[in-house]
Structure 1
């Protein structure tokens, strides 16, 4: 084997080994994944009796600005104000209905009377929301922290609650609740029971 052929074989072998090493390295990089660890703590399980009669979808964009005063010595003490601003879009679903945990329904078979006590008022039962940060501007001496993001999340949920309370969701939930009560009254009267609702006006029986 002459010298030229030997050199060519060495070059080809080195090239193949380099390609194999590159492929393995790229494959190793592609196999790298972000590892996440989560600890789920189930603290308490309890039975609930909640009736959702109305749900409303709410979307809002709000701005939050906070400033921080910092004294710098240049060399004389001078006070500067550094701001941070956040534009947040909050989307959520508000569930409105009745918490029936305290509701009491008793039957008197002899007197053929159904008595309903502790009829609740409609309320906001749950708010399912998500945040989309549209814009975040921070200063050198005033940056966003984990506490800031938690505060924005709490504020977003509060705004959804305020929006729901100022809307007609509670009124519509009460109308739906009255419809449910009318249905119960109708079924009970068809079974020969008189329905007595303590602390509330009895809805008119449903006429066929």
Structure 2
């Protein structure tokens, strides 16, 4: 009877030791995973210096048609034109702001000035879009391929970019950028400094 009890105690002890070892191993794996994610996040933050000042939602419906000429022998050579047409709705969010990679900020304690150089112009920083295929018409000798879908996707992104550039988003982004500078100037004055903004140097043509 004592042997059976001893066997049960050993089995129970081994079971709990196994659970403890597995929990410790899993905890080490989780700690390592969190550390790797934190390192990756730090690299992304360090490599990106962009200020988004305006976000705009854009949508558009457009059509794209292409033709393919095929010669069929029936029995004489005859040329036929086969068309394919896609009607696509594109929706997207356009982020407009400033790329601060070349921005230079210096402080002169003697003159009590805070100088900002190479202030960039607002630009489109990112476009997040999706495509909704409203209608796809294709012919027997002219069907849609993977390259066609990639081209439609690229064309949709270009149309969103063109529409954003012709809209008021750029002007509003510049206004928001000026507001940011006014905020920096206020903080500088509060610390007894004067904000000096030097225009970006013109790029020589040719």
Distance 1:122 1:63 in 2: 31
Unpaired stretches in structure 2, ≥5 consecutive residues: 1-39, 201-206
Distance 1:154 1:195 in 2: 42
* Bigger Cα Rg: 1
Tell me the CA shift for residue 48 of structure 1. 1.0
The list of structure 1 runs, each at least 4 consecutive aligned residues, that deviate by more than 4 angstroms after superposition, is none
Q: 3-state DSSP class of the match of 1:187?
A: helix
Q: Corresponding residue for 2:73? A: 73
The one-character-per-residue Cα deviations of 1:49-94 (angstroms, maximum 9, x if unpaired) are: 1000001000111000000000000010000000000000000000
Aligned length: 158
Distance 2:59 2:189 in 1: 43
Q: Corresponding residue for 2:36? A: none
Unpaired stretches in structure 1, ≥5 consecutive residues: 1-41, 201-208
Q: Corresponding residue for 1:113? A: 113
TM-score, normalised on structure 2? 0.74
- Determine whether 1:49 maps to 2:49: yes
Q: Corresponding residue for 1:188? A: 188
Higher helix share: 2
Distance 2:120 2:48 in 1: 14
Q: Corresponding residue for 2:6? A: none
Q: Corresponding residue for 1:141? A: 141
Tell me the CA shift for residue 109 of structure 1. 1.3
Tell me the CA shift for residue 195 of structure 1. 1.3
TM-score, normalised on structure 1? 0.74
Alpha-carbon RMSD: 1.5
